[in-house]
Structure 1
Amino acid sequence: MTDLFADDLPPASAPDEPREDAPLADRLRPRTLADVIGQEHLTGPEGAIGRMVAAGRLSSMILWGPPGTGKTSTARLLAAAVGMRFAAVSAVFSGVADLKKAFAEAAAAAKAGQRTLLFVDEIHRFNRAQQDGFLPFVESGTVTLVGATTENPSFALNAALLSRAQVLILHRLDSEALGTLLDKAEALEGPLPLDANAREALIASADGDGRFLLNQAETLYAAQIPEPLDPAALGQFLQRRVAVYDKDRDGHYNLISALHKAVRGSDPQAALYYLARLLTAGEEPLYLLRRLVRMASEDIGLADPQALQQCLAAKQAYEFLGSPEGEGAIVQACLYLATAPKSNAAYMAQKAAWKSAKETGSLSPPANILNAPTKLMKDIGYGKDYSYDHDAPDGFSGDDYWPEGMAPQTYYDPVERGFEREVKKRIEWWDRKRKERHGRS
Structure 2
Amino acid sequence: MPYTLLKQFLKESLPQGKQSYISFEGTFSEVIDVPVSHEEGVILLMATVPHILPGFYDDIIKEVFPEGGNIPQLGGIRLESHRGFYPTGETVLYILAKDDIEKRLMLQNMFMPGHWFYKKNILYLSDVREGEPQMSGRLQLSQEVLHKIFYGEEVLPRFSSTFPAKEVFTAMDWDDLVLNQNSLKQIQNIALWNKHKDRLMNDWKMGRKIAPGYRALFYGPPGTGKTLTACLLGKELGKSVFRIDLSAVVSKYIGETEKNLEKIFVQAESKEWILLFDEADALFGKRIQARSSNDRYANQEVSYLLQRIESFNGLVILTSNFKNNIDDAFLRRFNNVVAFYKPGFEERLSLWQKNLPDNVKLEENVSLELLAKSYDITGAQILSVITYACLQALGNNSNCLLNEDILAGIELEYLKEEKHFKKV
- With normalisation by structure 1, the TM-score equals 0.43
- With normalisation by structure 2, the TM-score equals 0.44
Larger radius of gyration: 1
| Higher-RCO chain (CA-CA 8 Å, sequence separation at least 6) | 2
